[in-house]
A and B are shown apart, each in its own frame.
Chain A
């Protein structure tokens, strides 16, 4: 079986949807965070597949950029999480409600 660019697209669509559903349904902030990473990587996969398919390196450069940003985001996100845990003794996203009226 030849793995064509369509297969990559389908896989990354599935991964992206899984990530979205995870973000919307899970309550543990770390899991939500991991789901976001999953979405990012689904997009990365699309970039790489299309880059190789079209013979253009731009997509791969984008992937490097996304990975850098994701790393920085992970650092900031985890720091936020720790700070939040220290205040509320929880990392449940339902407890992120101080802005509520």
Chain B
């Protein structure tokens, strides 16, 4: 019934091969774009079919083995796919968004050099992401994990002639390596730990079945999960490894939307959800995850206050929202975390694509006016809502969604997370408080962005301001679809308190994901319990805080546009620190980058020059010296050769005779 799961990653791979190998020959942008988009769309259709099939199926977990990979003693690893409600949701999310973003890219990347290269990489990324999501064991997941990292690197460095872009690509890759190292260590430790109990496996279903053999809350399971979480901080841009994500905005905007907002960066959240049974056994790790998540949520939000690059604000917003997801995972709200992953994918993809539409328009205008201004600087925008009405409306709806205004998608997912942070057996009111404050800050910086970009008077250069067009339909259509999803997507997860109020609307996503999470939650007594009035209280507070944030943004950036400047002047030191991202990059440079560089230079000067080169040159010098000595025997005189022959013969005969 589920035997043809391999088709889902196969189509993107096919698209990658066609565009990657023949793209230069095809040249026609329309054909290349259509191939790329159709490849993803085909796998979206297949995903939908399987999703519907799973909905009507009583058995919720299915594994199909495509081929055997490694078979060694007790260890056997297959190329296999695991299809359950969690991976079903994820493949829908990945293929659906990917289709829309591919479509958008046809318009956005129009006329770029390397159009085919872009689509090939994007297809390859989708392939790797699907492998990550569908893999039935940790190693196959790791293949996808590395694959998406590679594509992320390739696409961040898409404009490789630009120094900053190629640097950002390298930074993303290196920082991710740190996390990947943690993932690997976790995988090895888990394999060893389970092996001690007689089960040699890294298969997810077998891990879940045998996790009980490990000591509950013991040091081993804590170390294993912490290692995996380190992997997640790298891929999902959490403190301390978040620094690569804002720099990753050097890539084209569709890439930021697909990879650095909607799909790849949520891989860490997915991984924790996939191994929820293991993580639930380590309350200490869960606490660390919750604290890191909450800290990242609020920390990234502060940086978002002072950035002027439209994409960077969104990047820090992504970091902050990912923090929410980890907060959810940490307090045991697995369903809420995955739910927020979905809604975030909708509204953040829409926001990024919207910003891409704005950048596209600004770039076009500057190009027409022969100016070389930065098309991403919000200080040069303003008043764009009349120039780009569709972009504005979709962007505005998504902003309302991210701010958690009632009945938009993030309202349900974010409040579910905050409620769990407050009331879960693994939660704490401090976590809730931090999350709520961060929600207010989110509302503030997002509306700051909206006001600076779309409202107020137009601050674009006079020569360019009349040339800003609305983007073509191929770009606005995905925006509209995503805006609808961002607005109504939350209705799949209406919490019980609200559902009961209006009539018995079930929490669809919770019921759907129950086969994956419910067992863990009941086994470890994880749950959020509290009076309905308390839950309404937390909802009310977070909505209120959001409105305050919006109000403040309106006051500072709409009503009194001089206010921010005055504010910056009076708190100049604070503003400078925030503007410079709390100097975290500089700190990392000082602590890790420079010391590593110094170590490298030292090793180069000492080990490489003295020892490695010393050995190589020493051998050569030795041989040369021996040659110098021996060359004296080569006189070139026939007589001396004849003489030595005679002496040799005499010696041999003498030896034979006198032996």
List the interface of chain A (C-beta within 8 A of B).
Answer: 20, 23-25, 93-94, 96-97, 99-101
Contact = CB atoms under 8 A, between A and B. Distances in A.
B638 A101 contact: no
Contacts of B642: 23-24
B22 interface: no
A97 B636 contact: yes
Interface centre among B634, B635, B639, B643 (most CB of A within 10 A): B639
A101 B635 CA distance: 8
Contacts of A20: 646
Contacts of A100: 634-636
Given A20-B646, A24-B646, A101 B634 contact: yes
Main secondary structure of the interface of A (DSSP, over half): helix
A94 B637 contact: yes
Contacts of B643: 24
Given A24-B642, A93-B638, A97-B636, 4 more contacts: A93-B637, A93-B639, A97-B637, A101-B636
Nearest to A23: B642
B631 interface: yes
B651 to A, nearest CB: 14
A94 B637 CA distance: 6
- Scoring B631, B635, B637, B638 by chain A CB atoms within 10 A of each residue's CB, the highest score goes to B638
23 contacts: A20-B646, A23-B642, A24-B639, A24-B642, A24-B646, A25-B639, A93-B637, A93-B638, A93-B639, A94-B637, A94-B638, A94-B639, A96-B638, A97-B636, A97-B637, A99-B634, A99-B636, A100-B634, A100-B635, A100-B636, A101-B631, A101-B634, A101-B636
Nearest to A21: B646
> Do most interface residues of chain B lie in helix, strand or loop, or is the interface mixed?
helix
Interface string B92-123: 00000000000000000000000000000000
Nearest to B640: A24
Interface in B302-350: none
A97 B636 CA distance: 5
Interface of B: 631, 634-639, 642-643, 646
B424 to A, nearest CB: 87
B632 to A, nearest CB: 9
A20 B649 CA distance: 12
A95 to B, nearest CB: 9
A21 B646 CA distance: 10
A85 to B, nearest CB: 16
A41 to B, nearest CB: 18
Contacts of B638: 93-94, 96
Nearest to A98: B636
Nearest to A29: B638
Nearest to B646: A20
Nearest to B636: A100
Contacts of A24: 639, 642-643, 646
B639 to A, nearest CB: 6
A18 to B, nearest CB: 13
B94 to A, nearest CB: 72
A7 B260 CA distance: 106
Contacts of B631: 101
B307 to A, nearest CB: 73
A24 B646 CA distance: 9
A97 B635 CA distance: 9
Contacts of A25: 639
Contacts of B635: 100
A24 B642 CA distance: 6
A6 B45 CA distance: 109
Contacts of A94: 637-639
A26 B469 CA distance: 103
Contacts of B636: 97, 99-101
B640 to A, nearest CB: 9
A44 to B, nearest CB: 18
B579 to A, nearest CB: 72
A100 B642 CA distance: 15
B642 to A, nearest CB: 6
Contacts of A96: 638
Contacts of A97: 636-637
A60 to B, nearest CB: 24
A27 to B, nearest CB: 8
Nearest to A93: B638
Contacts of B637: 93-94, 97
A76 B422 CA distance: 107
The 9 A-B residue pairs whose C-beta atoms are closest, nearest first, are A100-B636, A97-B636, A93-B638, A96-B638, A23-B642, A101-B631, A24-B642, A24-B643, A24-B639
Contacts of A23: 642
A97 B646 CA distance: 20
Nearest to A25: B639
A23 B642 CA distance: 8
